[in-house]
Amino acid sequence: MVSNLARNNVIPPISVDYTESVLEGKKIGIIQVPKGKDRPYQDSSGRFYIRVGSTNRIASLNELMCLFQQSGFYHFDLTQIEQAHFGHLNQTVLEQYFQSYDVSITEMDLDEKIHLLQNTDILSEEGNATVAGLLVFGINPQRNLQNALISFAHYRGNQVTDELIDKKNIDGSLPNQIETALQVIKNNILSPSTVCGSKRTEGQHYPDKVFRELIVNACVHRNYSITGSRIRILMFDERIEVISPGKLPNTVMVEKLKAGVSYAVNPVIVKFMENLRYIDKLGRGLPLVCQSAQKLGKEVLFEEIGEEFKVTLFWDT
Q: Which residues contact 58 (CB under 8 A, 6 or more apart)?
A: 47, 48, 49
More confident residue, 66 or 290: 290
- pLDDT beyond 60 at 192: no
How many Cα neighbours within 13 Å face the side chain of 143?
13
Q: What is the distance between the alpha carbons of residues 285 and 262, in angstroms, rounded to a whole number?
A: 10
Burial class (CB in 10 A: 0-12, 13-18, 19+), 77: buried
Query: Residue 71's pLDDT is what?
Result: 59
Query: Residue 269's pLDDT is what?
Result: 93
- pLDDT beyond 90 at 181: yes
- pLDDT beyond 70 at 34: yes
- pLDDT beyond 80 at 51: no
What Å distances lie between residue 278 and 39, 155, 207, CA to CA?
30, 29, 16
What Å distances lie between residue 173 and 135, 142, 216, 258, 280, CA to CA?
5, 9, 12, 28, 19
Going by pLDDT thresholds of 50, 70 and 90, the confidence category of residue 54 is confident
Query: Residue 73's pLDDT is what?
Result: 62
More confident residue, 226 or 180: 180
Cβ atoms 153, 234 nearer than 8 A: yes
pLDDT tens digits, 83-96: 999 999 999 999 99
Closest by CA to 185, choosing from 235, 222, 232, is 235
Determine the average pLDDT of the residues in 257-283. 78
Cβ atoms 231, 150 nearer than 8 A: yes
Determine the average pLDDT of the residues in 241-260. 74
- pLDDT beyond 90 at 146: yes
Query: Residue 202's pLDDT is what?
Result: 46
Instruction: Kindly report the average pLDDT of the chain as a whole number.
Output: 85
What Å distances lie between residue 55 and 49, 52, 58, 260, CA to CA?
10, 5, 10, 34
Cβ count near 249 (within 10 Å): 17
Q: What is the distance between the alpha carbons of residues 273 and 253, in angstroms, rounded to a whole number?
A: 23
Going by pLDDT thresholds of 50, 70 and 90, the confidence category of residue 193 is very low
List, in order of start, the domains of the chain with CATH numbers: 2-59 (no CATH), 76-141 (no CATH), 150-314 (3.30.565.60)
Q: What is the distance between the alpha carbons of residues 93 and 105, in angstroms, rounded to a whole number?
A: 11
Q: What is the distance between the alpha carbons of residues 129 and 92, in angstroms, rounded to a whole number?
A: 16
pLDDT tens digits, 96-118: 999 988 888 988 999 999 999 99
Phi, psi of 315 (to 5 degrees): -150, 180
Nearest-5° Cα angle at 90, 87 to 96: 135
Query: Residue 56's pLDDT is what?
Result: 82
Q: Any idea what DSSP says for residue 74? A: -
Choice among 127-131, 146-150, 155-159, 281-285 with the minimum mean pLDDT? 281-285
Q: Which residues contact 98 (CB under 8 A, 6 or more apart)?
A: 104, 105, 116
More confident residue, 57 or 158: 158
